[in-house]
């Protein structure tokens, strides 16, 4: 018997964290895909024609038995004629992005544009993406405090 999990941005955002099981993730994705399909008044057969996926697979996804790959989610988005973000978010407008400061460059070279730094930056971005917003804000606050302290200490050494 499928569990009744409401599909809201806050619930979906949490489903990729370790506290939620693979089944919960599959169910949330499936419910959202079914809701979008029914909203467009498409049958599973119509989605099958548009994606090239078998209707039995579409059914397994919608019923929470299978978690589709990103490439498959892109097929669903094209078939349902919606932007990809709407598969994960049920608001009218796109979710607001964090207003992050632009990266500073040293001698015209941005940090993170070279091999080792780029890998480190990509890993950092990946980890930040999986954090809850409150934890991310706390981490950024702590980093800002540390950076401010470093500037103050430099000023004290110079004077």
User: pTM score, two decimals?
Assistant: 0.49
pLDDT score of 9: 38
Task: Give alpha helix (H) positions in 40-132.
Answer: 44-51, 55-62, 70-80, 115-129
Q: What is the CATH number of the domain that holds 24?
A: 1.10.260.40
Cβ-defined contacts of 153-156 (< 8 Å, 24+): none
15, 28 contact by CB (below 8 A)? yes
pLDDT score of 3: 43
Start-to-end CA span in the chain (Å): 71
Statement to judge: residues 81 and 131 lie in one domain: no
pLDDT score of 123: 82
**Domain assignment of residue 32, yes or no:** yes
Residues of the chain with pLDDT under 50: 1-19
pLDDT score of 152: 72
Full domain range(s) for residue 153: 126-159
pLDDT score of 112: 62
Statement to judge: residues 21 and 77 lie in one domain: yes
- Residues, the chain, total? 159
């Amino acid at each position: 018997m499928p569990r009744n999990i409401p599909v809201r941005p806050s619930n979906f955002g949490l489903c990729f964290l370790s506290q939620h099981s693979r089944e919960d993730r599959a169910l949330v994705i499936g419910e959202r895909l079914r809701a979008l399909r029914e909203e467009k008044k498409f049958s599973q057969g119509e989605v099958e024609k548009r994606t090239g996926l078998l209707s039995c697979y579409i059914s397994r996804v919608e019923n929470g038995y299978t978690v589709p790959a990103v490439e498959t989610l892109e097929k669903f988005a094209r078939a349902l004629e919606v932007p990809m973000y709407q598969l994960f978010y049920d608001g009218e407008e796109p979710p607001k992005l964090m207003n992050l400061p632009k990266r500073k460059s040293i001698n015209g070279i941005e940090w993170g544009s070279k091999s080792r730094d780029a890998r480190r930056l990509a890993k950092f971005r990946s980890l930040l993406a999986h954090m809850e917003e409150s934890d991310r804000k706390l981490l950024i606050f702590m980093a800002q405090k540390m950076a401010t302290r470093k500037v103050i200490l430099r000023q004290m050494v110079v004077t």
